[in-house]
């Protein structure tokens, strides 16, 4: 078997490995090229070697992993390197990177963006769970950004079949997963659907607070996940409402039965709790903190007059506009004209435009 990260230039069946994109718990991901179609793909070379019996099992079971969902990275092909009996998976290539790259460690993500992310991720996980598949390794590194900005869950090719179906070839090889995000039952080698919800809950906690609830070496992490309550989210992110904190902490219950009944229920509860923030004038609009940099694209004054451009993050602006449509007069009274925060300046411009065109509709 080739050294890790040393496969550039090699060819696996019809795929030439161009460069290493990243390394994970289960394998290495390379940017590849389909030598016949001349298209770019992502090739994941797994960190395992197969016996003859396991080889037949992999070829049979890999067909199961062709999940088709708008928020799941599609597995296009699979195979086994003949000389080393190393399995590999060929997936769609998402050139826009991961949510880890968009939000590096230590970054706090606005609540509105988190809600949009969770809605898409939960839809993908719910679809997989309904097919009796468990992901086992939900984390920002495995959440990709598609061509249209949509979120794509990757690495479903290494999922395991949940109780009631077969067990995949990787299902019995250790506990799997990434220690920072693993549920207590996964540390014991007994992952279930609720384990994915737990990992997504850890991810949400990290996005909102800027850090995961538990840190340390592997033995310390195992002990913390098993028996230590997570630190208060409010202590790390004071602008988060208690209702939001309660939803996140529910997903992090040590007992899987005390979490939400499904990952879809978690996403719904988070969205409902986040909507309460819209009614609280003491909470900065949609999780935007004073001084926090806003992202492109650039939006000019809606009246058409030339003005200083304001940069806004698209996940923030749409719910903001929808809220203003419902409460234009209320928000006008709540935001004094002397406040200079760029999002509030944009808010006042939107209000003026909405009041001048009462028939304006936001789809």
- CATH 3.30.200.20 matches 11-91: yes
Q: Which tokens in the block code for residue 257?
A: 């039965």
Higher pLDDT, 244 or 359: 244
Contacts of 60 (CB under 8 A, 6+ apart): none
pLDDT category at 13 given cuts 50, 70, 90 is: confident
Residue 116 in this model has a pLDDT that exceeds 90 = yes
Cβ pair 5, 56 in contact under 8 A = no
Residue 163 in this model has a pLDDT that exceeds 90 = no
pLDDT category at 131 given cuts 50, 70, 90 is: confident
Residue 134 in this model has a pLDDT that exceeds 50 = yes
Cβ pair 162, 132 in contact under 8 A = yes
Q: Residues spanned by CATH 3.30.200.20 within the chain? A: 11-91
Contacts of 282 (CB under 8 A, 6+ apart): none
Q: What is the CA radius of gyration of the chain?
A: 23
**Distance in Å from the first CA to the final CA of the chain:** 53
Higher pLDDT, 344 or 220: 220
Mean pLDDT of 2-28: 80
Q: Which residue in 34, 77, 92, 137 is the catalytic one? A: 137
Higher pLDDT, 162 or 70: 70
Taken in order 100, 101, 103, 105, the sign of the CA dihedral is positive
Q: What CA–CA distance (Å, rounded) separates 255 from 226?
A: 9
Q: Residues spanned by CATH 1.10.510.10 within the chain? A: 99-277
At residue 95, the pLDDT reads: 86
At residue 246, the pLDDT reads: 96
Condensed to tens digits (0 to 9), the pLDDT of residues 283-334 reads 444 444 334 443 433 334 434 343 444 444 444 555 555 555 555 455 555 5
- 137 in active site: yes
Q: What CA–CA distance (Å, rounded) separates 199 from 120?
A: 15
Percent of the chain with pLDDT strictly greater than 90 = 43
Q: What CA–CA distance (Å, rounded) separates 131 from 270?
A: 24
At residue 31, the pLDDT reads: 93
At residue 132, the pLDDT reads: 86
Token look-up 């492109």 returns: 296
CATH of domain 99-277: 1.10.510.10
At residue 7, the pLDDT reads: 84
At residue 28, the pLDDT reads: 84
DSSP annotation of 98: B
The SS3 call for residue 228 is coil
Percent of the chain with pLDDT strictly greater than 70 = 63
Cβ pair 56, 167 in contact under 8 A = no
Condensed to tens digits (0 to 9), the pLDDT of residues 186-240 reads 999 999 999 999 999 999 999 999 999 999 999 999 999 999 999 999 999 998 8
Listing DSSP states for 146-213 in one string gives -TTS-EEE--GGG-EEPBTB---TTTTSSS-S-GGG--HHHHTT---HHHHHHHHHHHHHHHHHSS-S
């Amino acid at each position: 078997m080739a050294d890790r990260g040393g496969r550039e230039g090699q060819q696996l069946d019809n795929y030439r490995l161009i460069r290493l994109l990243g390394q994970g718990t289960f394998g290495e991901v390379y940017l590849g090229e389909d030598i016949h179609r001349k298209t770019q793909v992502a090739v994941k070379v797994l960190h395992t070697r197969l016996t003859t019996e396991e080889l037949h099992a992999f070829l049979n079971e890999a067909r199961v992993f062709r999940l088709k969902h708008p928020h799941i990275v599609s597995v296009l092909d699979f195979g086994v390197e003949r000389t080393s009996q190393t399995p590999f998976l060929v997936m769609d290539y998402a050139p826009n990177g991961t949510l880890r790259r968009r939000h590096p460690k230590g970054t706090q993500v606005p609540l509105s963006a988190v809600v949009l992310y969770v809605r898409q991720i939960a839809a993908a996980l719910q679809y997989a769970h309904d097919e009796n598949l468990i992901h086992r390794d939900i984390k920002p590194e495995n959440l990709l950004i598609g061509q249209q900005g949509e979120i794509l869950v990757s690495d479903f090719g290494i999922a395991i079949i949940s109780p009631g179906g077969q067990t995949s070839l990787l299902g019995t090889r250790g506990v799997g997963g990434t220690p920072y995000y693993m549920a207590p039952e996964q540390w014991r080698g007994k992952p279930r659907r609720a384990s994915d919800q737990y990992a997504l809950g850890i991810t949400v906690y990290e996005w909102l607070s800027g850090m995961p609830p538990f840190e340390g070496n592997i033995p310390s992490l195992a002990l913390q996940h098993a028996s230590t309550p997570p630190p208060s989210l409010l202590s790390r992110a004071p602008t988060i409402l208690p209702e939001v904190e309660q939803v996140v902490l529910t997903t992090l219950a040590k007992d899987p039965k005390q979490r939400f009944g499904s990952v879809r229920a978690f996403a719904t509860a988070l969205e409902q709790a986040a909507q309460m923030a819209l009614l609280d004038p003491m909470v900065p609009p949609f999780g935007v903190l004073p001084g926090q940099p806003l992202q492109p694209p650039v939006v000019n004054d809606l009246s058409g007059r030339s003005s200083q451009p304001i940069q806004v993050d698209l996940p923030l602006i749409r719910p903001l506009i929808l809220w203003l449509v419902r409460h234009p007069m209320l928000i006008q009274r709540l935001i004094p004209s002397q406040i200079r925060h760029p999002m509030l300046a944009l808010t006042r411009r939107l209000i003026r435009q909405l009041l001048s065109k009462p028939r304006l509709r936001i789809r």
